[in-house]
Amino acid sequence: MTKVLAALPRSISVQISAFLQERRQAINKITDDPASIRLLFALARRRCTVLVAHYRPEVEAVAAALLRTPTLIGEDVGQIVRASLQTRLGALLCW
C-alpha cells in the first residue's frame, strides 16, 4: 500500500491515508480485541461473497452493456439491473 500511495499525487495520498486512519479508528471504537476484528472482517468478506454471488447476473448484464456502450449513466444501470432481476425473478437482498 505504501508504494501505491507514493505513486499518487500528494493531496490524494494524504486523503487516502486519512481515510485509512479513520477506518482503523472506527473499527477500534467497535472493539480493540484482535479476535473480534478478525471476525468482523471475516463477516464482511462473507457478506461481499454472498452479494457478488447473488447479483452476478446483474453484474454480467451491466458488463455486457458496457461492452456495447463504453459509458452508462446511473439511470441506465438501474434499468439494466431491474430488468435482470425481473427476468430471473430475483429479489434485492435485505440485511
* pLDDT tens, residue by residue, 3-54: 655 666 777 778 888 888 888 788 777 777 888 888 988 999 999 999 888 8
Residue with cell 430488468: 83
69, 54 contact by CB (below 8 A) = no
Distance CA 93, CA 46 (A): 14
Q: Name 77's Cβ contacts closer than 8 Å, sequence gap at least 6.
A: 62
pTM of the entire predicted model: 0.55
The pLDDT score that the predictor gives to residue 23 is 81
Cα dist from 31 to 20, 86, 92, whole Å: 17, 41, 30
Cα dist from 72 to 19, 58, 59, 66, whole Å: 28, 14, 13, 7
Residue 65 grid cell = 452493456
